[in-house]
Amino acid sequence: MGFTDIRRILTIFNIKKYENMSMLELPDGQRERIDSCAETLIAGFAALEAIDTDGTKPLVTVLDLHNILREDTAAKLFTRDEILSNAPEQYDGYFQVPGTLE
């Protein structure tokens, strides 16, 4: 059994594990299709990994933009009472929402 066969078994095993975690049940043909897509992705990443990037600076964006974001400054735009005036229900200065747990 070669590396490819072991990788294929591990991939099918992982697909079944993810199926169980997400409470899905896929037909075998769908598992094979997902496995095939995963193999294509793995091959693509392997090709990218083979590229020599030593000495290359990481890019945040390919566009020639510099500091396009505004300064992150705190500003008090509304008072608590103004904000709570829009709340359908409030209690003791806080929004009151329906309970989600029983």
Q: Is the pLDDT of residue 24 over 70?
A: yes
The domain segmentation of the chain, as residue ranges, is: 3-49
Distance CA(99)–CA(102), nearest Å, equals: 8
Confidence of residue 62 (pLDDT cuts 50, 70, 90): confident
Distance CA(15)–CA(17), nearest Å, equals: 5
Quote the pTM value.
Answer: 0.43
Q: How far apart are the first and last CA of the chain?
A: 53
Q: Is the pLDDT of residue 37 over 50?
A: yes
Computed over every residue of the chain, the mean pLDDT equals: 81
| CA–CA distances in Å: residue 58 to residues 2, 7, 50, 66 | 36, 31, 17, 15
User: In this predicted structure, what is the pLDDT of residue 101?
Assistant: 79
Distance CA(15)–CA(37), nearest Å, equals: 12
Helix 28-49 and helix 3-21: axis angle, to 10°? 120
